[in-house]
Every structure is written in C-alpha cells, then in structure tokens.
Amino acid sequence: MILGVNDTGFSDIEDCFQYQCALKNQCSYLISINIKDFPNISTSIEAITPFEFVEKITPSPHQ
C-alpha cells in the first residue's frame, strides 16, 4: 500500500493500487476499460481491455 501512495507515475491513486497489486502478484495483464490510465507500467505487465483479454484467452477456431 505504501508503494501505491508514493508512486508519482499515476495521477489516480486507485489506478496506482491496481498496478501495485498486479506487480506484487506477478500478473501478466492489467485489465481495464481505461488502459490510457496506465502509460508508465512495467514491461512485464500488459494493460489491456476486457475485450482484448477475452480475445487472448479464447482459442482460435483454427487450432
């Protein structure tokens, strides 16, 4: 929680808390309808929309 409060890369504290939780839990994706709110996130986490996430986890019909 302290890292979220002290992170100046975010203007919205809730976005920062989401990002810090994703980092701590070693998430691959941060899912948000406002991915523009996460311009400075780590390269280990990809900010994607819910639609993009569903596309990634849904098997291709050609597989």
pLDDT by residue, tens only, the chain of 63 residues: 555 566 667 778 888 888 888 888 999 999 999 988 888 787 789 999 999 999 998 987 776
pLDDT of residue 25: 93
Dihedral-angle region of residue 12 (phi above 0 means left; psi in -120 to 50 means alpha; beta otherwise):
beta
Give the integer Cα–Cα distance in Å for 42 and 25: 13
Domain ranges of the chain: 2-57
